[in-house]
């Protein structure tokens, strides 16, 4: 089945700096790559997603890039703010098509 690795597991940045989280996946048939933000005790919230026919997608301060050849995708957050502090998860669909496999998560702390 699909395997998703996520790095780093923790990330501390100064407010205003950029944060980058990287994920790799194993199943070359995967075609959907969402990113979720989860605050303590809350549900995961979709913040951005990308499909395999696109290499990059941007939404205000958040961008995601996808390299299908290398089977990795990354989340970029620019001009970080304290409210960006949370746990971020990447995910990918495997050959099954609608089943998401999650990465291990990255705990992001934005210091004021």
Partner 1 sequence: GAVVSQHPSRVICKSGTSVKIECRSLDFQATTMFWYRQFPKQSLMLMATSNEGSKATYEQGVEKDKFLINHASLTLSTLTVTSAHPEDSSFYICSGGQGSPNEQFFGPGTRLTVL
- Site residues (vs partner 1, CB under 8 A): 31-32, 34, 41-46, 49, 51, 89, 93, 97-105
Taking the least distance from each CB to partner 1, the nearer of 31 and 65 is 31
As measured in angstroms, the least distance from the Cβ of 98 to partner 1 is 6
As measured in angstroms, the least distance from the Cβ of 53 to partner 1 is 11
Rounded Cα distance between 65 and 28, Å, is 16
Taking the least distance from each CB to partner 1, the nearer of 15 and 39 is 39
């Amino acid at each position: 089945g699909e395997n998703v690795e996520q790095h780093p597991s923790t990330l501390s940045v100064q407010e205003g700096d950029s944060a980058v989280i990287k994920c790799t996946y194993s199943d070359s048939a995967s075609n959907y790559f969402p990113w979720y933000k989860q605050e303590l005790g809350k549900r995961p919230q979709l913040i951005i997603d990308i499909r395999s026919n696109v290499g990059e997608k941007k939404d205000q301060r958040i961008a995601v890039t996808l390299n299908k050849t290398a089977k990795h995708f990354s989340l970029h957050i620019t001009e970080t703010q304290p409210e960006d502090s949370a746990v971020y998860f990447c995910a990918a669909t495997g050959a099954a098509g609608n089943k998401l496999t999650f990465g291990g998560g990255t705990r992001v702390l934005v210091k004021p």
